[in-house]
Amino acid sequence: MTHSSEAQPISRRRFLSLSGQGALLAGVAIGTGSLWPRWAQAEPDLAAGLLRMGRDIYPHDAIEDTHYLTPLEPLLESRRALIADGLADLDRRAHEAHGRRYADIEQEADRAALLREIEDGDFFQTVRGTLVVGLYDNPALWEPHFGYEGASWQQGGYLHRGFDDLTVDWL
Amino acid sequence: MATRFDHDDDSVVVIIGSGAGGGTLANALAKKGINSVVLEAGKRYQMNDIENDEWEMFKKISWLDERITAGPRQLTETFPGLPAWIVKGVGGSTIHWAGVSLRFQPHEFKWHSEVGDIAGANLLDWPISYEELEPYYVKAERHMGVTGESTGMPYHQWNNNFKVLAAGAERVGYKQLRSGPMAINTEAYDDRARCMQAGFCMQGCRFGAKWSTMYTDIPRAEASGYCEVRPRSMALKIEHDDQGRATAVVYADGDGNQHRQRARAVCVAGNSIESPRLLLNSHSAMFPDGLANSSGQVGRNYMTHATSCIFGVMPKPVHMHRGTTFAGIISDEARLDPSRGFVGGYTLEVMSLGVPFFAKFMDPTNAGWGREITTALDKYDHLSGVWICGEDLPVETNGITLHDTKKDQHGLPVPVVYKGDHPNDEKLRRHGEQQARRCYEAAGAERIFKVPDFPTSHNVGTNRMSAKAQDGVVNQWGQTHDIDNLFISDGSQFTSSGAENPTLTIVALALRQADHIAERMQRQEL
């Protein structure tokens, strides 16, 4: 396994300075109109590759980019070489197969096929493992997107909130 | 003022573990005025430590000390360090269990007599019968507050998740559908509140409606003045004298300092991984293969239940997360009926997971990503789930061994937990999956899928009961064949796994063992 010598770990401080007052979630609409955090705007190539990959691993069309980018961002600090090298490798494979960068491949099935080639590797599983918690253990998405209401003891459980309200009338 | 016993006090019973076996035993002995010291590896939790949060509670209470998952199973790849999902804390896995309280059936105590030898399986009859245990089942049900006849507590209302499964099951022709028995109060019972249908049973019941030694047996035993519980105390070795009687337990406290607690008798209740591990680690010149291991059966015959998990995407929202986690039980397939192509039976138990666990467990293999996963997650609120709890045959090579070189934080070899399927387990599982699918098809599911196995919480065997000393580790009282004052008090003493969740039987055996220990003490035999 080779590591790019240019890929230096980036410090937390630099991230914070890139993001002004440290408000990582603040962002402006760029590109396709998604809300991107400022760190992502400062490193658009890495961010675009990582976001595309995250959205291909767990595709939910109705979930905003920011919910993918926010949990993935720490990887650019803690595992930067792995991520930079992994994305470079993915782009190399994409060029070979489709003559363009991974994030620029239009068909989801084509991108997914490339990811299947690397799914057993550390890079892929690191991104996926980070996202499976970062995306689905996010209470901001639970009820709005999944219809999962989460913690209930503060409201006295679901005893009076519909635990047995279903009529199975679809048979 | 809490009771404190001296380390040199050799009149105490030392109990290792504070869960369903150890916690029950400590309280039962205390009621008889017998002194005990409970050594619990984990720390003490308070009720307000209990959160309705899957990952937070997983990280907080799980036994995460190093263990190695081994064997020809997918879990070896997906969860290489987590062969079982159990709790490290005062209360043990009774913090995390879901309350299902089924009795074993009479034939499950005498499998070998019923079906004879089966190639590759190490089948044996229990040295006790259902009839002998029945009075203790009744006592256990009253003790734990199990809904149904013994307590008079009504069963729970069927929650949405169970209504869906039951609608399909009835169409398939199943008759034995119940929302219990559960050790979860449907009305105030034994100074505990009623169930508020919060879900999160496996993260701990914030209302205390579910029986757990964390807030029942352990504090009551302590309040009696006859019991001292030492949290963060990891048992390292059981010592014995020249006559081969257990004399003391060496343990490490939370700072790593070692202590020696002398003992009149020792009761091991550390779950099916740690209990045999402790016996194996306690080898000596007199017992070179480990304590109580003259049969060579310590650490063998590990059973986890043959399980599988099926989900259906229903046409309308179900909200499976509302209400008790395992809200309903179907027992039609728990029968003895080899015409199905396998011996042993299974129960179908409706189950739910929250979004965080569902996302993690839906397919934890490397290939578990992409639209097939996310289109199911997008329908989370339409999901209904069922878990198959099936008889798992004892196989001698399934079990706990000590790693050659890897050591834990106390310098002890880490346990290697090896498990493979007997062909019978595979047939049973496939049958269960097919029947579960039929139920969801009959209920109108738009999509049905299987979830790969996740680390089990049902661990039994590894120190099994047997009539003869050469066949197993303990006798019908849980007393080791080899050492008169050494007992096994947890599910590791099970001779077979049954088609039922193990906790009620563990508690019944612990209550029975307490009577036995007290009688022997009265007779000056212990």
B188 touches chain A (CB under 8 A): no
β-pairing verdict for B234-240 and B399-407: unpaired
Predicted confidence (pLDDT) at residue B314 exceeds the cutoff of 80: yes
Question: Is the predicted pLDDT of residue B143 greater than 60, yes or no?
Answer: yes
Least CB–CB distance from B370: residue in A112, A150, A161: A112
Instruction: For residue B503, give the 3-state DSSP assignment.
Output: helix
Q: Taking the CB of residue B3, how many other CB atoms lie within 10 A of it?
A: 17
pLDDT score, position A4: 38
Put simply, the answer to whether B198 touches A168 (Cβ < 8 Å) is: no
ω into residue B356 within 30 of 0, thus cis? no
Find residues 16-55 of chain A whose CB sits inside 8 Å of chain B: none
A109 touches chain B (CB under 8 A): no
Among B500, B483, B482, smallest CA distance to B491 is for B500
Answer yes or no: is pLDDT of A17 > 90. no
pLDDT of residue A35: 63
| pLDDT class of A34 with cuts at 50, 70, 90 | low
Query: Which positions 3-22 of A are in contact with B (Cβ < 8 Å)?
Result: none
User: Do residues B494 and B303 lie in contact, with contact meaning Cβ atoms separated by under 8 Å?
Assistant: yes
B 402-441 residues inside an 8 A Cβ radius of A: none
Taking residue B47's Cβ as centre, other Cβ atoms within 10 Å add up to: 12
Q: What is the pLDDT of residue A103?
A: 94
Whether the per-residue pLDDT at A3 is higher than 60: the answer is no
Q: Nearest CA to B390 among B356, B351, B431?
A: B431
Is the confidence at residue A24, as pLDDT, over 60? no
Nearest by CB to residue A153, choosing from B52, B360, B442, is B52
Range A140-156 average pLDDT: 97
The span from the CA of B442 to the CA of B488, in Å, is: 45
Whether B370 sits inside 8 A of A56 (CB atoms) is yes
**Distance between CA B375 and CA B122 in Å, rounded?**
43
Q: Could you say which DSSP state residue B84 is in? A: B
pLDDT digits 0-9 by tens, B429-439: 999 999 999 99
Give the pLDDT mean for B149-173: 98
Task: Summarize the confidence of residues A136-157 as an average pLDDT.
Answer: 97
Is A143's Cβ below 8 Å from some Cβ in B? no
Distance CA A39, CA A73 (A): 8
User: How many other CB atoms are there within 10 angstroms of residue A80's CB atom?
Assistant: 16
Quote the pLDDT of residue B456: 87
Share of chain B above pLDDT 90, in %: 99
Chain A residue numbers with beta carbons less than 8 Å from the beta carbon of B52 are 150-153
pTM of the model: 0.94
Please report the pLDDT score of residue B119 as a whole number: 97
Mean pLDDT, range A127-145, rounded to an integer: 97
Q: How confident is the model at residue B1 (pLDDT cuts 50, 70, 90)?
A: low
CB contact under 8 A, A59 and B370: yes
Percent of chain B past pLDDT 70, that is, above it, reads: 100
CA B107 distance to own-chain centroid: 21
Contact criterion met (CB < 8 Å) for A152 and B157? no
Q: What is the mean pLDDT of chain B?
A: 97
Phi, psi of A153 (to 5 degrees): -65, -30
- Is A120 in contact with B314 (Cβ distance < 8 A)? no
Taking the Cβ of residue A100 and every Cβ of chain B, the question of whether any pair is shorter than 8 Å is answered with: no
| Cβ neighbours around B404 below 10 Å, total | 7
Residue B398 near residue B302 (C-beta atoms within 8 A): yes
**Are the beta carbons of A159 and B195 separated by less than 8 Å?**
yes
The two structure tokens encoding residue B156? 């729970």
Task: Please report residues of A whose CB lies closer than 8 A to that of B367.
Answer: 116, 119
Q: Does B377 touch chain A (CB under 8 A)?
A: yes
What is the nearest CA distance from A50 to chain B, expressed in angstroms?
Answer: 15
Tell me how far apart the alpha carbons of residues A93 and A101 are, in angstroms, rounded to a whole number.
Answer: 8
Q: pLDDT band at A38, cuts 50/70/90?
A: confident
- List the Cα angle B179/B498/B442 in 5-degree steps: 45
* Cβ of residue A157 closer than 8 Å to a chain B Cβ: yes
